[in-house]
Structure 1
Amino acid sequence: MYVPPEWPSEVRTPDIPDWETSAVAWLLDAVPPDYRAYEVLRRHPYALARMAGHHVRASIEAARAGYRGAAVELKGHLPPHAVEAVLEVYRREGPRLVQLARSIEAVERALRGEGFTATLRRRP
């Protein structure tokens, strides 16, 4: 079965029986640990995927805001090399979170029952 490149390797493909179990485990790793306490999210993986998507998109916005303000907010409280190290954390986390959001979106689509189709892309 074709799945898009953003499909997480930890999640079995939708053509495998009970693949949703691996999706739930992976999605729970993408949200705060307290989400594990809600049985409804395990019973309804689509709801968990929606919540995970909202959470990660909010984290992306928070990381962007943090990056924009870090140099000013941290100046005078940290040495310059530490400020630069914090900015580097934001530069690495941003792309990781964006990729995570794309992966969550792919899993959510599959949980809705949507299929995936491979497409050929033209080279520029």
Structure 2
Amino acid sequence: MRPPDAPDWEVTAASWLLDLCPPDYRRFAGLRRHVVVLARFAVLHVEAQQLATRRGLSEIRGDLKDVAEQAVVEAAVQTFQLEDARLLGVRREVGLVEDALRGRRYRVRM
């Protein structure tokens, strides 16, 4: 994605945001025309993924204890932890893009 204020940066932002959202979002023309709305949808979608991942992490040991070996359960726990960490970064990125689409700019501090 191009940086804010670069030529066509909103087009590249929309493409990136759509990649983060469910494929069905691509059929809504309003989301393509109003990229800031798409950004809000993307933020909410990522936050929902975070909630689902954290719920899965809290329940996985109990859900699998009778049907999978301990090593499999621990591998599932580790997968949820990795996904939670990934989504934390994605949520920050999507939030920064939404801020930029709303006109907020950040300056590098030294």
TM over 0.5: yes
Match of 1:40 in 2: 30
CA RMSD of superposed structures (Å): 0.9
Q: TM-score, normalised by structure 2?
A: 0.95
Q: Deviations over 1:96-120 (max 9, x none)?
A: 0010000000000110111111224
What is the total number of aligned residue pairs between the two structures? Answer: 110
Q: Among all aligned residue pairs of Structure 1 and Structure 2, give the percentage whose two residues are the same amino acid.
A: 42
Q: TM-score, normalised by structure 1?
A: 0.85
Match of 1:86 in 2: 76
By relative contact order (CA 8 Å, sep 6+), the higher-ranking structure is 1
Alignment of 1:94-109 (within 5 A): 94-109=84-99
User: Which is worse superposed, 45-54 or 111-120?
Assistant: 111-120
Unaligned runs of 5+ in 2: none
After the TM superposition, list the runs of 4 or more consecutive aligned residues in structure 1 that deviate by more than 2 angstroms: none
Higher helix share: 2
Unaligned runs of 5+ in 1: 1-10
